[in-house]
Amino acid sequence: MSNTTDTPITEQSQNLTPPCTPPPYHLGKASANTEEFEQRAIPSISNPPGSKAQGNCSSTITPTAEETLSWDMISPRTCTKSYQMSSYEELGHGAWSTVYRAIETPETSPSRLPTPPTSPVSLSGKSAIGRVLAIKAPARNDAHDILIHEARVLTYLHSSGRASEYLVPFHGYNVTSKSLVMDAIPLNLETHAKSCLKRVRADFSTRTMFDPVCGSQEWQSLATQLIGGLEFLHSNRCIHGDIKPSTILLCPIEDGTSETYTPLYCDFSSARIFNDSDVGSIEQAQQITALTLDYASPELLTSLRSTSAVATMAADVYALAVTLVVAAIGESPYAGASMEVLKLSMAREGKVLQFARQADQGTRIMKGKMVERCLKDALEKDVEKRYTAKEWKDSVHIILEG
């Protein structure tokens, strides 16, 4: 896309807007949301129905817990994990990719008995045979470089021992089908927040009207883990570039009394990495080709017509803070905007909390209360005053522990 072409802005309900031409994979500027659910024709991929990808998931990297490989050294981790796709069951798709459901199958030998049919799958993503996998395949021929770039980013990040705490498990890149192989996690934060909002509207209580729609304990847990995850990404010089509720998956944890969730970041097709020698500036900075208006920072929205509109760590912080507002009130802070042009004007003002307090769930983020205190400095319009991920993490720890 040329610098003179206006950057498309996507609505909250239309998360993906492909650029005119795909960017080179090493710049990683396309967005392909693995959790977009729409009805459309299912494209063909390399593996036919009923086929298997044979072998074991392998990696050439053996990092220590605190060590991450240099980005320049990274090639996509090769995965030949064995999995079964009995039919093209689509989990979701985006501008560049389609995500299919598959079942991990164990390696067999001639002396072993045949594997029994697949058992029903639980929400935890496991079956009697093996875990449920998400196969992220290219939806069109020009998407191959985009997925290779995402595989490089995930390989780089997973070279750190801490990645499993914050990212959807990544099993590698299937060279045959040109696909990414990941754990399938059926629930995202967007769907969960909407469900919580529907529940509190149906069962209103003055006792809980000042709590986040998902509950105070759950919100605090989500905030702590997601902010910690963002600090992990930024400490490894990764800018996600597309943080929003639909790119955060919720892995259920059953503690025996209630169901809680571990939030995990996914969809790194818009991510990019600082060069080792480029700390303090953006790697080969280029125009943003698509963004979701509701989660875009004011500085991005005011610079869309110039070459300075690039995703930054500060923009990531802002996007996550808006995402946590949605987790608190169950909907976009701009849900009351009657027209898209009005929403754009509101978003450019950088007054997310003020607009959110005008909604019917505004009591949940009242000034001086826990949610507002945790988010206000991450939502600063002035980039110089906005928290870094590390500062935000430390501040929230003090607020919640105090």
* Cβ–Cβ under 8 Å, residues 249 and 323: no
- Return the pLDDT at 66: 47
Q: Is 326 helix (H, G, I), strand (E, B) or coil?
A: helix
281 is written with which tokens? 């500036």
- Return the pLDDT at 17: 36
- Return the pLDDT at 93: 82
- Return the pLDDT at 52: 42
Name residues of the chain where pLDDT drops below 50: 1-66, 108-128, 276-287, 289
| CA atoms of 30 and 143, how far apart (whole Å) | 9
- Return the pLDDT at 115: 44
Question: To 5 degrees, how large is the angle CA 208–CA 191–CA 182?
Answer: 130
- Return the pLDDT at 170: 96
320's enclosing H/E stretch is helix 313-329
179 is written with which tokens? 């696909």
Residues paired with 9 in a beta bridge: 291
Place of tokens 């522990």: 401
90 is written with which tokens? 């689509």
| CA atoms of 311 and 184, how far apart (whole Å) | 28
- Return the pLDDT at 14: 41
What pTM was estimated for this model as a whole?
Answer: 0.78
Question: To 5 degrees, how large is the angle CA 70–CA 75–CA 80?
Answer: 135
CB atoms within 10 A of CB 149: 25
Residue 357, C-beta contacts closer than 8 angstroms, at least 6 positions apart = 365, 366, 367
Note the Cα 121 to chain centre separation in Å: 23
Model confidence over 103-112: pLDDT tens digits?
998 864 444 4
* Cβ–Cβ under 8 Å, residues 390 and 235: yes
| CA atoms of 171 and 164, how far apart (whole Å) | 11
Residue positions counted in the chain: 402
